[in-house]
A and B are shown apart, each in its own frame.
Chain A
């Protein structure tokens, strides 16, 4: 995890871009909304989209880093060196994923806090504590989801086309920047089968102070992604060892 944190710190430019992206895109969309409605838009709607774009970036960062972790590790030989140490491949991969979770929680808190203060005032900042706990729980299924992304990267060899397809589906179906009800029913079902719609809606409700514990119940079903990711990781590892004679 220390090694992964050092990689994050070295890529400060990426963090800077990630920090600006939700603000730029939500403000652009807000301006378009102003134009389309003749100024009948509220800062609360901007905050709705800011939170959505931030969770979207979290989703992108986690899926892309998972895909690139495998691809870059294989290309540079870094993965072999890591695996040559007496560490289980799963421990190395999960360490990277957990570092990612911590980084993304910090990232979300930073952006959401700025938005919260701007729209609702400093008094609402206390709600951020609840979001930290909520994200720590709800990003666990995402780790499993992204193990599947990593395995798909090994199968298709290129990380960008894999993440491009997955990110587009996740973005369209998860209701990041619009209510999921605007989607056709099959896309609504697809969105509800993935972890992100629960994350973005839960985070919004916690920040607004209207979260109910019952909303955590889908997490039990979504933890299936973690189990599925671990099973496929193990199957993929066995297949790779058989084919190449070495781990991943």
Chain B
């Protein structure tokens, strides 16, 4: 019982740390709000350069708005993976783990910032899409959208913790994250799967991220490539699977840290 209370206390302490960090760097919020309109224009036109006539198609504008929303979502979460490497470099991680806290708990503070980034950046992007490009935004299945976002939130929190453990000893972990933030969403369902050629549709199904990202897009467009009663439970199972992998990797990391005196899996 006491252990559980202590654990909840650590969770709240991490969340408070995240909120404090966010509040201290208000320039970041200003920077995000300033830059999102321009990034939205850039992404829209880069993709639609091949077919500018699609700027007149409300279906494509809505689908692409949600595609860029998932990009912000994935990007905000996986950038938190840098946090563990920074924490280790600054010598904070050792002290935190000495308190009995886990890597996942320590990551929670950074996740608060990611969630706030999505909460601000996501609606800002949708608003810019509506105002700047005249998109009539719609969500075909609002309840499924809420469930999909919750599953995706849990998945990318655990996934980012795993990525953080894998990248903890790198000097420049941002190189991998910079690539991953584009590759993961845009190869795994962010681009509406029904718009892809059949051979690519088949390949996309093999990506585990598809079962997390596709429900967000499909809830908005109303076109589920795999029925929601299958794709959402698969997403839940994937969360469970990566949770088990995450716990295992964390144990390996700590064991190696004790043996070698430094945080690294390799």
Contact = CB atoms under 8 A, between A and B. Distances in A.
Interface of A: 11, 13-14, 16-17, 20-21, 24-25, 28-41, 45, 48-49, 156-158, 160-162, 164-165, 167-169, 171-173, 177-179, 182-183, 187
Given A11-B172, A13-B172, A48-B49, 14 more contacts: A13-B171, A13-B175, A21-B178, A24-B182, A34-B50, A35-B195, A39-B197, A45-B50, A157-B27, A160-B28, A160-B31, A165-B31, A179-B49, A182-B45
Nearest to B177: A17
Interface string B177-205: 01100110011000100011100100000
Contacts of B34: 165, 168
A20 B179 contact: yes
Contacts, number: 112
Interface stretch (B35-43, B92-100, B101-109, B233-241): B35-43
Interface residues of B, number: 37
B60 interface: yes
B54 A168 contact: no
A45 B50 CA distance: 8
Q: Which of B42, B51, B60 has the most CB of A within 10 A?
A: B42
A193 B85 CA distance: 40
A157 B27 CA distance: 10
Given A49-B49, A165-B35, A168-B39, A32 B186 contact: yes
Given A161-B28, A171-B42, A187-B41, A29 B179 contact: no
Contacts of B183: 24, 28
Nearest to B191: A32
B123 interface: no
B2 interface: no
Given A165-B31, A178-B46, A35 B39 contact: no
Given A24-B179, A28-B182, A173-B38, A34 B51 contact: no
B47 interface: yes
B248 to A, nearest CB: 27
A156 B30 CA distance: 12
Interface in B191-249: 191, 195-197, 200
What does DSSP make chain B's interface, helix, strand, loop or mixed?
Answer: helix
B175 A172 contact: no
Interface in B67-103: none
Contacts of A35: 191, 195-197, 200
A156 B39 contact: no
Nearest to A158: B27
B81 to A, nearest CB: 15
Contacts of A183: 41, 45
Given A13-B172, A49-B46, A158 B35 contact: no
Contacts of A41: 50
A177 B41 contact: no
Interface string B1-41: 00000000000000000000000010110111011101101
B142 interface: no
A21 B174 CA distance: 13
B134 interface: no
Contacts of B25: 158
A154 to B, nearest CB: 13
A13 B173 CA distance: 9
Given A161-B28, A168-B42, A172-B38, A37 B50 contact: yes
Contacts of B42: 168, 171-172, 177
26 contacts: A24-B182, A28-B182, A28-B186, A29-B49, A30-B50, A31-B191, A31-B200, A32-B186, A33-B49, A33-B51, A34-B50, A35-B191, A35-B200, A36-B47, A36-B54, A36-B60, A37-B51, A49-B46, A158-B27, A160-B31, A161-B28, A168-B34, A168-B42, A172-B38, A173-B38, A177-B49
Contact of B52 (A162, A171, A182): A182
A2 to B, nearest CB: 22
A177 B25 CA distance: 32
A164 B31 contact: yes
Given A161-B27, A165-B34, A171-B39, A14 B175 contact: yes
A46 to B, nearest CB: 9
A17 B25 CA distance: 28
A156 B50 contact: no
A158 B32 CA distance: 14
